[in-house]
Chains A and B, each alone.
Chain A
Amino acid sequence: KNEVEQSPQNLTAQEGEFITINCSYSVGISALHWLQQHPGGGIVSLFMLSSGKKKHGRLIATINIQEKHSSLHITASHPRDSAVYICAVRSYNTDKLIFGTGTRLQVFP
């Protein structure tokens, strides 16, 4: 079992819908990252969190350290949000980044 689990693995939505992607992890962490990977392959860092909540435009990321859980929300989703969203945690013990397998999101007009 991977130390970072994401759900769902695949998600389809209609334009305008509110999207939630979940990430659970089983190790102690110093930080959690949300990344976006477009079909071309390039990865863009969306957020780095160690506590609480961050917002950037239509994207909101939250983390609950006690429950070892983070969520990425997209409000008013748009077809250009279609991508793979990857959760990654930095292990407190090893300093290494551990990646989830990603959530593939497709938003239809």
Chain B
Amino acid sequence: ETGVTQTPRHLVMGMTNKKSLKCEQHLGHNAMYWYKQSAKKPLELMFVYSLEERVENNSVPSRFSPECPNSSHLFLHLHTLQPEDSALYLCASSHGQGARAYGYTFGSGTRLTVV
């Protein structure tokens, strides 16, 4: 365990379903991130939260909706997804963000399959 816990580990959902991914860290970090990892492609940054405020949204479709209720928890709410959204979704956290980030720690990811 890295200190960043993601649930569920695996998720299969239909295109009309609504589900949520959860990420939790108790490392005292104040920045949290969602990444998407598709097969044979580099990790893509989706969202960045710093001190519970969204500071970055990399042109992610509105069917992905993040939520950061406090500095230890991060959610990714999913609805009406497409099959091409099937991927590994990774959460990460750090002290600070951008060039001042350190202690970057990833979770184990949620493997999402959209059918």
B-contacting residues of A (Cβ < 8 Å)? 2, 4, 30-31, 33, 35, 40-45, 48, 86, 88, 90, 95-102
CB distance from B55 to the nearest CB of A (A): 11
Which residues of A are found within 8 Å of B107, using beta-carbon distances? 42
Closest to B92 in A: A43
Whether a CB of chain A sits under 8 angstroms from the CB of B69 is: no
**6 extra interface residue pairs, beta carbon distance < 8 Å, beyond A40-B109, A43-B109, A95-B98:** A4-B42, A30-B99, A42-B106, A45-B105, A90-B99, A99-B42
Q: Are A45 and B104 in contact (CB under 8 A)?
A: yes
Residue in B42, B106, B111 whose beta carbon sits within 8 Å of that of A100 in the complex: B42
Bound-complex Cα distance A74 to B41 (A): 24
A41 and B43 contact, Cβ closer than 8 Å, known pairs A30-B99, A95-B98, A95-B99? no
B83 to chain A, nearest CB (A): 20
Tell me whether B80 is interfacial, beta carbon within 8 Å: no
- Are B43 and A33 touching (Cβ within 8 A)? no
Contact B108 A86 (CB under 8 A): no
- The range of chain B's interface size is 10 to 19
The answer on a CB contact under 8 Å between A41 and B108 is yes
User: Does A42 contact B104, Cβ atoms closer than 8 Å?
Assistant: no
Q: Which of A33, A35, A45 has the largest count of B CB atoms less than 10 A from its CB?
A: A45
List of 8 A-B pairs having minimum Cβ-Cβ separation, nearest first: A42-B108, A41-B109, A95-B98, A43-B106, A99-B42, A99-B43, A95-B99, A30-B99
